[in-house]
Amino acid sequence: MTLWTTTSSPVGDLLLVGEREATRFALTSLSMPGQRNAPGIRSDWVHDPEPFADVVRQLTAYFAGRLTRFSLDLVPGGTPAQQEVWRALEEIPYGTTTTYGALAARLGIPRGGVQALGATIGANPLLLVRPCHRVIGADGTMRGYAAGVERKIHLLTHEGALQPTLI
């Protein structure tokens, strides 16, 4: 059974989607308003905030600066190749960034495959939990965040990977 709820955060209301099977509950999606390819709430989904209590607790701790790595039961989703890339995202330490090229090299993806790598990162259904916001351009630019570059900058500043800018 597919369940959903929302929770507020400094980057907007987050849509949480999960699957319950018998006694197991796992998160399948975490998306932000306006996110490219974000799921919409479907009529056959059930609104039930209770199973998401631990997800919300960990998100609250993350945004309060008390959590640097999520520990949640996740539904892997995607193809085996996508899963490999998404697992690699989970290994990028809090407060750091890597480049698309460096991530491709680490995964053994040839130089010509970096664009496909970017598409796979962009298809990540679990923003924040799989920290795709930590992947930046080789020149330090903030590229391709499905929920918007402003949010990517906000998250990296929150984690201390970027210095706040004065406006």
Task: Write out the catalytic residue numbers.
Answer: 132
**CB-facing half-sphere around the CA of 5: CA atoms within 13 A:** 14
Compute the Cα dihedral for 162, 119, 86, 64 and give only its sign. positive
Q: Is the separation of the CB atoms in 45 and 29 below 8 Å? A: no
Secondary structure E strands in 39-82: 46-47
| Inter-CA distances, 78 with 57, 118, 150, Å | 26, 15, 26
